[in-house]
Amino acid sequence: MGINGNAWFEIGTDDREGTESFYADVFGWSFIDDDSTSPDGRPYRMVVTGSGEPPSGGVTGVGGTRANYSTFFLLVADTADTCRRVEAAGGKVEVPAQRNASGLRWAHLIDPQGNRFGVFTPPQG
């Protein structure tokens, strides 16, 4: 399944059903399982906006690993290189560059002011 645009958002929650219900009620979103696994051991859930567009976000269970959060992700050519550049510019890497089962690469970062964001590189091919 493709990714919609140059940005991605993710909502991490300890109440996936409640979170999905809220966003479905407010925005009409639906949710489908992805092939990767959340920290709570359940499938990562992709947001489907209902417009026929590819997903532009996801919902993940935090599984007690961190507090609830929401973050945005920016498309980059090289996730690992972006992590190095963030550190060189005074930021921090919170979750190092990783790859999911479909080949998507991603990382969680923190800017020098403490704002969290992420970067991603779609699978090759």
Tell which CATH classification among 3.50.50.60, 3.40.50.12640, 3.30.70.2190, 3.10.180.10 matches the domain 1-75.
3.10.180.10
| 100 pLDDT above the threshold of 60 | yes
Give the integer Cα–Cα distance in Å for 66 and 85. Answer: 25
CATH of domain 76-125: 3.10.180.10
What is d(CA 43, CA 88) in angstroms, rounded to the nearest whole number?
Answer: 34
Q: Are 116 and 108 in contact (CB under 8 A)?
A: yes
122 in Cβ contact with 55 (< 8 Å):
no
DSSP state of 42: S
- The backbone torsions φ and ψ at residue 24, rounded to the nearest 5 degrees and listed phi first, read -65, -45
pTM score: 0.69
* Span of 1-10, 17-26, 92-101 with lowest mean pLDDT: 1-10
Give residue limits of the domains in the chain.
1-75, 76-125
Tokens of 15: 């109440």
Domain 76-125 in the same topology as domain 1-75: yes
